[in-house]
Each structure stands twice: as structure tokens, then as C-alpha cells.
Amino acid sequence: MRRASIAIAAATLLGAVLGAQKGPTQRPTVDKDQWREDLRYFARELPKRHKNLYHAVSQPEFERAVAELDRAIPSLEDHQTIVRMQQIAAMVGDGHTGVHIPRYFKRYPISVYWFGRELRVTAAGDAYRTAIGTRVVKVGDSGIDEVMSRIVTCFPSAENENEWYVLSTSPAFLTVPEALHTLGVVPGLGPASFTFEDDQGTPLVLEITPVDVPIVDGNPRLQLTPAVAPDKQPLGRQRPGEMYWFTYLPDSQTVYVNFRGYDSLGENARKLFKL
């Protein structure tokens, strides 16, 4: 039996890319028995479909984690079950195996990015513009290092992928209230306290309210004010809604190609080779 909730789990079987979320935009109604059935389907099918599921986690460890979640589901909220499934998928240890963040999960309306060891705010909603450019130092009562120690359980580790994978993936979770609540960083799904610091070390504490993520051109996208104009962003951060684009750089006589997904790859590639 496959329901909307199974679609969330089945994303794991095909490999998940956090930036290209799948599934329903409305929260499905799923009871505890259905979640347990979905978990069993997930645990049964994943070893069949993965080339080598136990290359980074042993079979007993994987099965123990599944059994623990199965026992816990009656006491969990739906979003907690999903995040716990993300943690199980992360144990597999490769970037092509994971559980999508559902489209109906909310976001704190800020965008963050790692610059070395500093997590900076690169864009924010109108009510939180004062945070743009500052460092994130705390979420709730937890310092950012403690927050990261919990967040990294939701996707493959640097040991199984690499440091840059962790730095690029973690911001997708750091602004998701459902993830932070499941991990014990924030007490609920409502407003949460974020502490920032400017370059002089002056603290700024904001109570940030999560919002629904609108779907723009088929992709979830928050409308935020960026730190710099869109056309001044590094190439890798321009045109975020496009899965494939390219441009010619005359100064270096090179073609820059940004490839984020396989949709319409053949058609897009033909356009590229017409240059």
C-alpha cells in the first residue's frame, strides 16, 4: 500500500536532493499504524534497491535503529517520525540516499551559509533584515556548535562524504523548525529565539516566526532580501530556481554550467552544445 506518507519514505529509495523537494504541499493525514507500515516498507525495500546499503553501517545497527523508531512512533508527532527516518537514512552514508524534507515543512525566513567556521545570514525576511550579514551564534539556548552536532545526524557525515558536503547541506536543516524541534534545539514549531553577532561582537537576539514556503515555478522558494543583489551573487548562488543553466564568460573564454538536476537534461545539453 502506498500513501502520501509512503511517498516521503520512498524518496529515500531513489536518492534525495534537499534542494529539489518532492511530495505533497499539504500535510497528509497519517495515523500511527500507517507510519509504522511506511517505516517497515522503507526498511524492507531500501536494502533491495541500494547497491551496497551496509557499506557504512552494519545490518544490525540499521535494523536496531528501525526497531527503535518503530517502538517510538506512537509517542511521536508526524514531523518527528520523518526527521527520525532522515537520521536512519543518513546512517547509510552516501549523499544519494536520504529522505526529502517535505514541502509542507515550514522555514524560519532567513538564509544562512557557512563561510569557513562562521555561519552568516545571507538573506532574510523583511522583519529580520537587521540580521543580514551577522553570524549565527545560538539557536534557542544552544550554541551553534551544539546545534550542528545534532543537525549532522540528519545526513551523511564528512567521513562518508566530505567536509564541503556537510557545510553545503546543513543550512537546509538549520532553518527548519520541524528538524530543530525533533533534535531538541527548539521547544516547539512556533517562534524561536536566534542570537546573532555583528563583526564587533555586538549581540542581536530576534524571535523568528516560521512561515510556509511558497511554490514558485514548481519549486519551494522563500521571498527574502539578499545581502547583495541577485546579479552580484557568486555564479553558484545565482538563479536558484533553475535546475540547469549556463553562460559564457568572455574574460576567461569559458562556459559556466550550473547543473542541479536531471530534469530535461538532454534538451538542456543540446542547447549548450549549440554555442
Helix, strand or coil for residue 80?
Answer: helix
Gap between the Cα atoms of 40 and 60, Å rounded: 15
pLDDT tens string for the chain (275 positions)?
444 443 344 333 333 333 344 556 677 788 999 999 999 999 999 999 999 999 999 999 999 999 999 999 999 999 999 999 999 999 999 999 999 889 899 999 999 999 999 999 999 999 999 999 999 999 999 999 999 999 999 999 999 999 999 999 999 999 999 999 999 999 999 999 999 999 999 999 999 999 999 887 777 788 899 998 888 888 988 887 788 888 999 999 999 999 887 878 888 888 878 76
Q: 168 Cβ partners below 8 Å, 6+ apart?
A: 114
